[in-house]
Chains A and B, each alone.
Chain A
Amino acid sequence: MEIQEAEMVVRLEVVRKTYGGVAALDGVSLSVRAGEAVAVMGPSGSGKSTLLNMVAGLDKPSSGKVVVGGDDVSGMGEAALARFRRRRVGMVFQFFNLLDDLPALDNVALAGRLVGVPARKARARAAELLEELGLADRRDAYPAVLSGGERQRVGVARALMNRPALLLADEPTGALDSATGEQVAELLLDLNRKGQTLLLVTHDEALATRCATRVVEFVDGRIVREAELERGGSWGVR
């Protein structure tokens, strides 16, 4: 029990979220263990992003409990949530959400600065990360001149800046063509292999089968299917 607790990175207990009476999440219970890569799938409007926002502490459940890394996110105040977001989780968005006014390097370093890393050290780590992700020569480029795949890789680098226990990604390949999507998938898979816990939302079956160790399917705010995956295998239990 003790050990299990410690290994559990995310635990949702009967989480409900309603928007004006309509339930976006309807009593969802879900756990993610350390080292897992969980893919959340389902039709549009089924509540996938709502779930991710809940885990990222960007939104609060109407009822139920969201525990991430042992902390009850649903009970936190704004300042505590901000601290939680910058230390515990890293987030990757469908539309990258980089700051247009800063070059790639500073977009990544920014996350480090937020946790109090001095400017110079933060830039050094950001440069390292960008190099790891194959963007060494693009570090001074502004988001506007980067390709979609490059932007997403910058987004991933930013999410990894503070070595989060959990990496969250909402449709990370949703705005990319299949070839660049492939690159990003490769990157995520690689990260997970190195031990990074992943929770990703996607429509993209290829991405799910490629990176995930487990797939959860949502319909109308409920989990309708859950399956362990043989990585690299097929969407087995169909």
Chain B
Amino acid sequence: MGRPVSAVWAASRAGVRRRRMQTGSIGLVVALATATLVFGLGLLSASHSMFDDAFAKARGAHAAADFDAARTTEAQVAATAHGSGVTAAAGPFRTVTLARPDGPSEVPMQSEGLTVAGRADPGGPVDRLSLTAGRWVRGPGEIVLRGKPMGPFRLGGKVTSPGRPELTVVGFAVSATGGVDGWVTPAQVAALRPDGFLMEYRFARAGDPAEVRRSLNAAAAGLPVRGYDSYMTAKREFEGRFNQLVPFITVFGILALTVSVFIIGNVVSGAVISGFRHIGVMKALGFTPGQVTSVYVGMVAVPTAAGCAVGLAVGHLLAGRMVANLSENFELPSAGGVSLPLEAAAGGGVLALAALAALVPALRAGRLPAVQAISAGTVSRRGRGRRVQRWLVRTRLPLPVGLGLGLPVARPARAAVTLAGLCLGVTAVTMGLGLHQTVTKIMTADTESRTSVRVGVDPRNPAGSMSADRLAATVRAQPGTAHVTASVQRPMRVPGLATGASAETYSGDYRPFLGDNLVRGRWFTGPGEVVPSEAFMRLQGLHVGDPLSVQVDGTRLTLKIVGAFSHPDTDRFMLDAASLPAAKGRPEPPLLLVIVKDGTDPAAYAAQLNKTGASAGLFAETAAPDLADRALFSGLFLVFSLIICTAAALGVLNSVLLGARERARDLGVLKAVGMPPRRVVLMMVTSMAALGVAGGAIGVPLGVLAHHGVVELTGDLLGSGMAAPWIHVYGWALLLLPACVGLAVAVLGAWPPAVRAAAVRTATVLRSE
């Protein structure tokens, strides 16, 4: 038994050695495809359960309860940790809410102030914090803020509050639990005159908001709870932001899976098929069909296994990095990349796929009669292909180009598979480019992203009683102002919305602030017109032009719907402030939005306004655009495109390699009659360039169609609709780029094996016939 097995091994090993480039390319393709697969799985699992994973990993608290220190003792609060239904608890941590200073604050603070807790270390049984920047607090005068450094939130910033010592920001941390905005040392919090206790619980039962409330009541056992944060709030908030992206992430993930499966199948089976010519020899030597099959499977087994291992490792790192980025972006602790069992399954899947891809043609190889096997590798004898080749050679095209263009015609099946690989790559890149544009546009389309500086009004100050118009005029006087609008939110009753709605009213120079997020119709241009969210329009089955009766402050009025903007919430309405009757009683102070003139630095503008407007009670902050999401998507897209292009290029390389081996004799003849190596390279590269151009021509429209489909479907699924500029993102440049990618990938992939084929010694090739 030992003898035939070792003969099979020897033949396989010889096969591997004789085809170093092909073996290497199989290894590389499998590695890339596996990495893509793991990466895709990472994307899919992240989109599916990112919050839950992060919550589990950080042992997030189901509820963070705030107890009044004036009415409870620390021991009483600590005892709730042993209450019924509590599976784990942390605290009590002493808390205090630092009031917002009257003037400008270096670290932007909500009007309700900044709640901080005294906490010795970020670990523990519940609510493990992950630092995103800087370090944990070590001593007095230091604070760690929730989130990540962004705009004016940065390391070294100062937190000031009237009558309290100044705190320096030494770090940023994220938590999967709501609760406090910052953390200081327990000693420091004592010096800040704390007035509350924070307890964080994990419960046995916390499936929905009601269950969380019941579990908390049971745990508190009658102790007065001042307020609490349920993890459900954090989850909802996260989902609200993240769910928009899920379809895109899913599409990226699925594309990655498809491309990797296709390429592995193509390359591995191609390798086996290309060896068919040796079958005759093996059979003549007395190899049984089973042994022939084993030789072919064995030949691809080694590079596949090695590639798979490398791919798993690279994919693991990439996916981990990507999930960490995503988590950081959504201010969640990282849950790590793909789970190990899933990665193991991915590896197993790749090996199984490769085995299948090798086995099918290898079994055929085993059964093939020797004579037929020898002719299987020779060139097709198809009439039409011949005619095309003859015609190409007779045209005025340079000879290598004419001959090169004829090569795919001679091998239509292989050309089709290579073309399919190129198409898939171009489609994926086209779609990816478009999705990237779409996501970028979605993220920058709303009013917020057009605003450069936000100006708030302190209600305790004289400005609090100024009219919105007067406030806007004050801000407009500031040098560098291009546009100002005053925005006020007012509660509004709308038929069909039981919980009420909020009217976002704008006054002044509002046109430049209205974004690109219109799904239909137009923006309001004056009083009497309203633009609801698309979700509301769909819910009510309304159309542009329909009247809408609303009730504000007890007054009924009818507005005309002139358009709808993309948003998944049903209770949002935008309109001109003059549409609504004047507010009864003291009006809510407006938020002023500013667009600065070109060349004006928003930060400098805000600083200046904080100086001049402080006495009037105005405080300005730059509107930090959330660029992180965009950077994340750009990165994701880049990695993804690179992987797909490399995989497609390797597919081409493989195809040229096979073609060159089959046509070794023809190449030898051409060289013998005096074709210089450079022209041989040109010929081989031309053959693939033609496919690359075709791949671009087919792949780009497919990618555009797929993009439109996915974007529209996403809009429908979310119920938010998609604005036309988010769907029609492709300009000339954006279409030309992926089309060129097809050509570039084909040429780059064809180059190395073409150079090699051209360098083969003619005498050797011709004597082997």
The interface of chain A, by Cβ under 8 A from chain B, is 49, 53, 56, 58-59, 78-79, 82-87, 91, 93, 95, 97-103, 106, 110-111, 113-115, 118-119, 123, 142, 144, 158
Contact = CB atoms under 8 A, between A and B. Distances in A.
Given A102-B389, A103-B390, A144-B381, A115 B410 contact: no
B128 interface: no
24 contacts: A49-B767, A78-B676, A78-B677, A79-B678, A82-B676, A85-B671, A85-B672, A86-B674, A91-B673, A93-B672, A97-B672, A99-B670, A101-B410, A102-B390, A106-B390, A106-B393, A111-B674, A114-B399, A114-B674, A115-B674, A118-B396, A119-B395, A142-B386, A158-B673
Given A78-B677, A79-B677, A101-B379, A110 B393 contact: yes
A196 B675 CA distance: 23
B406 interface: yes
Nearest to B410: A101
A101 B394 contact: no
A85 B305 CA distance: 46
Given A97-B668, A101-B386, A86 B673 contact: yes
B74 to A, nearest CB: 88
Closest 6 CB pairs of A and B: A86-B674, A82-B676, A85-B674, A58-B763, A53-B763, A113-B399
A84 B673 CA distance: 10
B668 to A, nearest CB: 7
Contacts of A86: 673-675
A83 B676 contact: yes
Contact of B671 (A82, A119, A123): A82
Contacts of A97: 665, 668-669, 672, 766, 769
A95 B769 contact: yes
Interface string B750-769: 00000000000111001101
B673 A114 contact: yes
B666 interface: yes
A53 B767 CA distance: 10
Contacts of A95: 769
A106 B403 CA distance: 11
Contacts of B395: 119
Main secondary structure of the interface of B (DSSP, over half): helix
B252 to A, nearest CB: 42
Contacts of B762: 58
Interface in B343-378: 378
A98 B669 contact: yes
B394 A106 contact: yes
Nearest to A86: B674
Interface in B669-693: 669-678
Contacts of B676: 78-79, 82-83
A35 B12 CA distance: 53
Given A58-B762, A97-B769, A110-B399, A102 B393 contact: yes
Contacts of B669: 97-99
Give the interface SS of chain A, mostly helix, strand, loop or mixed: helix
Contacts of B763: 49, 53, 58-59
Given A102-B389, A103-B390, A119-B395, A59 B674 contact: no
Interface residues of B, number: 33
B384 to A, nearest CB: 12
Contacts of A87: 674
A59 B410 CA distance: 30
Nearest to A113: B399
Nearest to B395: A119
A103 B386 CA distance: 9
B402 to A, nearest CB: 8
Contacts of B668: 97
Contacts of B393: 102, 106, 110, 119
Contacts of B673: 85-86, 91, 110-111, 114, 158
A119 B669 CA distance: 19
A123 B393 CA distance: 11
A83 B671 CA distance: 10
Contacts of B406: 101
* Residue from A84, A97, A103 whose CB has the most chain B CB atoms within 10 Å: A97
Contacts of B677: 78-79, 82
Contacts of A84: 674
Given A95-B769, A97-B672, A115-B674, 13 more contacts: A58-B762, A59-B761, A78-B677, A79-B677, A87-B674, A91-B672, A93-B672, A97-B766, A99-B669, A101-B386, A101-B666, A111-B673, A119-B393
Contacts of A100: 378-379, 666
A111 B665 CA distance: 16
A99 B666 contact: yes
B765 to A, nearest CB: 10
A169 to B, nearest CB: 13
B389 A101 contact: yes
A121 to B, nearest CB: 12
Nearest to B388: A101
Residue of B386, B394, B395, B396 with most chain A CB atoms under a 10 A cut-off: B394
Interface string B500-528: 00000000000000000000000000000
A103 to B, nearest CB: 6
A142 B385 CA distance: 13
Given A53-B763, A59-B761, A101-B410, A82 B674 contact: yes
Given A99-B666, A119-B394, A58 B672 contact: yes
A117 B589 CA distance: 86
Contacts of B386: 101, 142
B296 to A, nearest CB: 26
A50 to B, nearest CB: 8
B674 A93 contact: no
Interface string B396-425: 100100000010001000000000000000
A102 B669 CA distance: 13
Nearest to A87: B674
Contact of A114 (B381, B390, B675): B675
Nearest to B380: A101
Contacts of B675: 82, 86, 114
A88 to B, nearest CB: 9
A155 to B, nearest CB: 10
Task: Name the residue among B665, B673, B676 with the largest chain A CB count within 10 angstroms.
Answer: B673
A194 to B, nearest CB: 22
Interface in B729-768: 761-763, 766-767
A97 B390 CA distance: 18
Contacts of A78: 676-677
A79 B681 CA distance: 13
Most buried by B among A78, A100, A158: A100
B458 to A, nearest CB: 81
B389 A83 contact: no
A170 to B, nearest CB: 9
A86 B389 CA distance: 23
Contacts of A123: 394
Nearest to B398: A113
Nearest to B397: A119
Interface string B254-270: 00000000000000000
Nearest to B669: A97
A93 B671 CA distance: 13
A79 B394 CA distance: 25
B661 to A, nearest CB: 16
Nearest to B678: A79
Nearest to B396: A119
Contacts of B379: 100-101
A173 to B, nearest CB: 17
A91 B668 CA distance: 12
A132 B675 CA distance: 26
Contacts of A98: 669
A224 B761 CA distance: 29
Contacts of A103: 390
A61 to B, nearest CB: 12
Contacts of A110: 393, 399, 670, 673
